[in-house]
Chain A
Amino acid sequence: MLSRISARAYSTAPVKLVSRDATGNLSTLSVVVNNAGSKVGKAGVPHLLSKFGFLNNEVKSALRFTREAELLGGAFSSEVTRDAIVLSAQFLKKDLPYFVESLGNAVAKPSFRPHEFTETVKPTALAESAAAHACPEFVALEALHQQSFRKGLGQPLYYSANQSVTFDDVKEFAASAFTAGNVSIVASGVNEADLAEFVAESAFAGLPAGSTSAPAVTTFTGAETRIASSGASVAAFAIPVAKADYAAYEVVAAAAGTSTLVGSAAPLSKIPGADSKLFKYQDAGLFVVSVTGADAHAVASGIKAAKQAVASLSASALSGAVKAAELSVALQDSFEFSHNIKVSADSGKNFKLGPFNYVAVGNTDVLPYADEL
């Protein structure tokens, strides 16, 4: 609770600023470029753009920034989420001015070089994508997002070689997304007045005005996808969730059994490899129930049992899970990505398992069809 009271937001700063001071010698700084995540624009472009994060800009070469930041002990990363591109850095408190300036240059003064696109950006993006797709859970999640949202949140998170993205696509996307209205800075362990001053002096002040909006969310259910692959099998179903229902589905996840509350006596914890989780985004969420395992037969019976368990959650089980859901929300909450979910006594009251989307990845000869669940 205290964290919300002490977090300050400055309205006069060039970009939205949310910060809090903390004891200790460490600061973290995240530059969130909203509406630049994989839900926006041409598929694959946001991922490629995120890889340009700490490459050459008009002020500094990538070599110079990397060497300087590492000399200061800083750790930094540039990632794409479905909602945003997030550039974050972790460093000693005294180095705040350096990192504000550098992240400002990265966002406001990029100098996209064609050789970087072919030599660095594309190969590293493809490597990250390949590593993610080697994991059947990730493949299943991607399919569920695609079925549930089609466009927007349903677009693939990562770039893949079969998408024809040109260098100009990335530059154009950056020009439209890196605007003052889209960028917000979330900082922890910093003096608020110092941060505001440094941001005002930095390249953030030169960001073009304007903002872009997120694509409208349309949800779909009833789809089924089967993807044959070697390795572990995953069977999962998902329900798109409106933002207002986050609390309700946190209660459902807690009542059914979720990996944030490992070992609870919920029904899914009795099924090997079963999990339920609410993926929360800015405009909508996705509630996913999954079963993973090396033995496809066990996964097949597991997903049937898991569907039964979720469909037959009793009113008393749901009201009994409120306290557990509160804990689950507290454990998932972070300053950088706070969803401000308020679980109340009757949050989960009206839950009834309706139509869903279904995906089977792995040994599809054995995994059941949606209508067999």
Chain B
Amino acid sequence: MIRGLRSRAPAARRLVSTYNAAPRFTTLSNGTTVVTEQNPHATSAAVGVYFGAGSRAENPYNNGVGALGLAILGLGLKDGVLLSLYATKELNGVIGQSTNENAAAAAKTVASLVSSYAEVIEKSDFAAAKDAQIAKIDALENTPSSMVLEHLNATAFQGHSLGLPTLGTYNSVSDLEHSDATRFLESALVAHNTVISASGNVDHDAIVDAVESSLKLAPGYKAAAPAAPFLGSEVRLRDDTIPKAYISIAAQGEGINSPAYHVAQVAAAIFGSFDHNAAIAKFTSPKLASIVQDYHIVDKYTHFSTSYSDTGLWGFNAEISNLYNIDDFVHFTLKEWNRLTVSITDAEVARGKNAAKVALLGALNSPVAVSSEIASKVLLNGFRASVEQDLASIDAITTSDVKAWASAALWDKDIAIAGTGSIEGLLDYNRARNDMAMMRF
């Protein structure tokens, strides 16, 4: 593929025989799944108890209660185990990090903690936890690039609980009480809706033993979640005191269970990220990047393919200081999206596939990342494909797969727009919507 590079046959042969550590699964007597993935190089271990209910299982009045309950459980340093929380829209969890030698003790600590959640929450300083959560909400709202994404999600899935912010809002969190947290955990923390996932230099059997003896969960299954409809819409939080414009535009993406999950990832990787201030900004590959760098119409952009269990968002998040050219950036980007349907080339798809593979592997770079990734796939998809399977399905993607996906998911489809900062120059919704297709083919 690369000019002037000799092929190295012996090395290639050896590389085929390398493999990813296979996770080991055990189902406990009460129906809870325990997964561990051993990594002999890990310097620390992470053991998490995850359950399949996040802000999507909340309502506008108790929004943020899951993250709050978990923040109370996952706080502090107990017997050499550092507790933290994992809160997303569909998954919550308590993670214990420890030295490798201490992993079984960490498993015991997190398992007994979630088994006695009612007691822990009753004894906790609830007001302090609420203040801490409100501080986190403030921090998010004061970081324009992340705030835009939260509002993009809120407008895309408006009227549905998937649109609720993960941490809740200032109003909803202020009104929460002990009993709200306990009631939420009572319905969510049940045996068949829970996964214990460990990563690090850990011993599977030791973790299973530790958890089997200390995890006491009520029997029960995950509550059914109604499908979340995507609504083409926009939200503008114009704030001219912020010197830049922060905008994000997305179409409906793919769910984790979608056969096109990896195709959407590859399509996002084709456009990738761009940073105007990188030394290689002038040379970076995506055609979109070479268009925008020439005129400095964007400072930074990232394309993403975010997947929830049954739906997702596929789009970009951008930071623009050239306030009079916001419309140019939106136009050129959406015109590039059109190319996914009509004229994307084999080389671009090949680059996207490799970038998606490296991103997939590179994201699994810490025990916490590995354990959360396994838990989210098991809870949201019912199983976790091995890394080889993921890589094989990325390898199998062809240019026509990308075109077919884009023509079904992007071509002339509604979009959600969110923006904050100096966005006077962000044109009317329909101007952007019209760029989702072109009159010629």
Inter-subunit contact A71/B76 (CB<8 Å): no
Inter-subunit contact A194/B11 (CB<8 Å): yes
Interface 1/0 per residue, A178-200 and B, CB below 8 Å: 00000000001001001000100
Segment 62-91 of B: residues with Cβ below 8 Å from A: 75-77, 79-84
A188 partner residues in chain B, CB cutoff 8 A: 41
From the candidates A53, A131, A261, name the one contacting B77 in the complex (CB within 8 A). A261
Tell me the minimal C-beta distance from B36 to chain A in angstroms: 14
A262 to B82, CA, bound (A): 8
Tell me the minimal C-beta distance from B418 to chain A in angstroms: 24
Segment 64-78 of A: residues with Cβ below 8 Å from B: 66-68, 70-75, 78
Most buried by A among B1, B82, B201, B387: B82
Inter-subunit contact A330/B44 (CB<8 Å): yes
Tell me the minimal C-beta distance from A179 to chain B in angstroms: 23
From the candidates A52, A92, A262, name the one contacting B357 in the complex (CB within 8 A). A92
B339 at the interface (CB under 8 A from A): no
Q: A66-B285, A73-B357, A264-B77 are in contact. Are A54 and B20 (CB under 8 A)?
A: no
- Select from chain A the residue with minimum beta-carbon distance to B102: A327
Report the count of interface residues on A (CB-CB < 8 A). Answer: 62
B347 at the interface (CB under 8 A from A): yes
A128 to B8, CA, bound (A): 39
A331 at the interface (CB under 8 A from B): yes
Inter-subunit contact A265/B76 (CB<8 Å): yes
A310 to B4, CA, bound (A): 60
Inter-subunit contact A74/B358 (CB<8 Å): yes
Inter-subunit contact A97/B354 (CB<8 Å): no
Q: A66-B285, A262-B84 are in contact. Are A71 and B350 (CB under 8 A)?
A: yes
Tell me the minimal C-beta distance from B61 to chain A in angstroms: 28
Q: A3-B40, A97-B5, A263-B84 are in contact. Are A324 and B77 (CB under 8 A)?
A: yes
A131 partner residues in chain B, CB cutoff 8 A: 277
A262 to B71, CA, bound (A): 12
Q: A70-B284, A327-B98 are in contact. Are A261 and B82 (CB under 8 A)?
A: yes
Inter-subunit contact B41/A128 (CB<8 Å): no
Inter-subunit contact B83/A73 (CB<8 Å): no
B1 partner residues in chain A, CB cutoff 8 A: 71-72
A98 partner residues in chain B, CB cutoff 8 A: 2, 5
From the candidates B6, B44, B281, B353, name the one contacting A331 in the complex (CB within 8 A). B44
A224 at the interface (CB under 8 A from B): no
A24 to B364, CA, bound (A): 10
From the candidates A94, A97, A327, name the one contacting B82 in the complex (CB within 8 A). A327
Q: A22-B41, A330-B43 are in contact. Are A75 and B362 (CB under 8 A)?
A: yes
B439 partner residues in chain A, CB cutoff 8 A: none
A93 partner residues in chain B, CB cutoff 8 A: 15, 18
Interface 1/0 per residue, A99-123 and B, CB below 8 Å: 0010000000000000000001101
A63 at the interface (CB under 8 A from B): yes
A20 at the interface (CB under 8 A from B): yes
Inter-subunit contact A75/B358 (CB<8 Å): yes
Report the contact-size class of chain B (Cβ under 8 Å from the partner).
Answer: 35 or more
B224 at the interface (CB under 8 A from A): no
Tell me the minimal C-beta distance from B388 to chain A in angstroms: 8
Inter-subunit contact A25/B80 (CB<8 Å): no
Most buried by A among B6, B79, B279: B279
From the candidates A6, A72, A127, A263, name the one contacting B2 in the complex (CB within 8 A). A72
Tell me the minimal C-beta distance from B13 to chain A in angstroms: 11
A101 partner residues in chain B, CB cutoff 8 A: 5
Q: A62-B283, A94-B15, A326-B99 are in contact. Are A2 and B40 (CB under 8 A)?
A: yes
Inter-subunit contact A23/B18 (CB<8 Å): yes
Inter-subunit contact B357/A25 (CB<8 Å): yes
A57 at the interface (CB under 8 A from B): no
Interface 1/0 per residue, B373-402 and A, CB below 8 Å: 000000000000001000100000000000
Interface 1/0 per residue, B1-38 and A, CB below 8 Å: 11001101011101100111100000000000000000
Q: A26-B358, A262-B84, A327-B99 are in contact. Are A124 and B277 (CB under 8 A)?
A: yes
A92 to B11, CA, bound (A): 13
A334 to B354, CA, bound (A): 26
Inter-subunit contact B77/A263 (CB<8 Å): yes
B282 partner residues in chain A, CB cutoff 8 A: 63, 120
Inter-subunit contact A73/B280 (CB<8 Å): no
- Select from chain B the residue with minimum beta-carbon distance to A60: B4
B347 partner residues in chain A, CB cutoff 8 A: 71
Inter-subunit contact B99/A330 (CB<8 Å): yes
A91 at the interface (CB under 8 A from B): yes
Tell me the minimal C-beta distance from B203 to chain A in angstroms: 13
From the candidates B43, B277, B280, name the one contacting A3 in the complex (CB within 8 A). B43
A54 to B281, CA, bound (A): 11
From the candidates A6, A68, A70, name the one contacting B355 in the complex (CB within 8 A). A70
A225 to B99, CA, bound (A): 39
B14 partner residues in chain A, CB cutoff 8 A: 191, 194
- Select from chain A the residue with minimum beta-carbon distance to B347: A71
Tell me the minimal C-beta distance from A63 to chain B in angstroms: 4
B79 partner residues in chain A, CB cutoff 8 A: 323
Inter-subunit contact B97/A331 (CB<8 Å): yes
Interface 1/0 per residue, B344-378 and A, CB below 8 Å: 00010011011111100110000000000000000
Inter-subunit contact A62/B280 (CB<8 Å): yes
A52 to B279, CA, bound (A): 8
Inter-subunit contact B99/A73 (CB<8 Å): no
From the candidates B6, B40, B75, name the one contacting A263 in the complex (CB within 8 A). B75
From the candidates A2, A67, A261, name the one contacting B283 in the complex (CB within 8 A). A67
B81 partner residues in chain A, CB cutoff 8 A: 327
From the candidates B6, B44, B285, name the one contacting A71 in the complex (CB within 8 A). B285
Tell me the minimal C-beta distance from B73 to chain A in angstroms: 11
A333 at the interface (CB under 8 A from B): yes
A151 at the interface (CB under 8 A from B): no
Tell me the minimal C-beta distance from A319 to chain B in angstroms: 14
Inter-subunit contact B21/A23 (CB<8 Å): yes
A90 at the interface (CB under 8 A from B): yes
A55 at the interface (CB under 8 A from B): yes
Inter-subunit contact A73/B351 (CB<8 Å): yes
Inter-subunit contact B361/A25 (CB<8 Å): yes
From the candidates B272, B279, B284, name the one contacting A53 in the complex (CB within 8 A). B279
Inter-subunit contact B361/A26 (CB<8 Å): yes
A67 partner residues in chain B, CB cutoff 8 A: 283, 285
A82 partner residues in chain B, CB cutoff 8 A: none
A72 to B356, CA, bound (A): 10
A234 to B350, CA, bound (A): 48
Point out residues on B near A: beta carbons under 8 Å: 1-2, 5-6, 8, 10-12, 14-15, 18-21, 39-41, 43-44, 75-77, 79-84, 97-100, 102, 201, 272, 277-285, 347, 350-351, 353-358, 361-362, 387, 391
Q: Given contacts A71-B354, A265-B76, list 20 more A-B pairs with CB under 8 A.
A: A6-B41, A24-B18, A25-B361, A67-B285, A68-B2, A70-B355, A71-B350, A73-B358, A92-B361, A93-B15, A97-B5, A97-B6, A124-B277, A188-B41, A194-B14, A263-B76, A263-B83, A327-B80, A330-B44, A334-B43
Among all A-B residue pairs, the 9 with the closest Cβ atoms: A73-B354, A264-B77, A26-B361, A127-B277, A66-B283, A323-B80, A73-B358, A330-B44, A333-B43
Listed A/B pairs (17) with beta-carbon separation below 8 Å: A6-B40, A23-B20, A23-B21, A24-B361, A25-B387, A25-B391, A55-B279, A68-B2, A70-B284, A71-B347, A71-B350, A91-B358, A121-B279, A124-B279, A326-B99, A330-B99, A331-B97
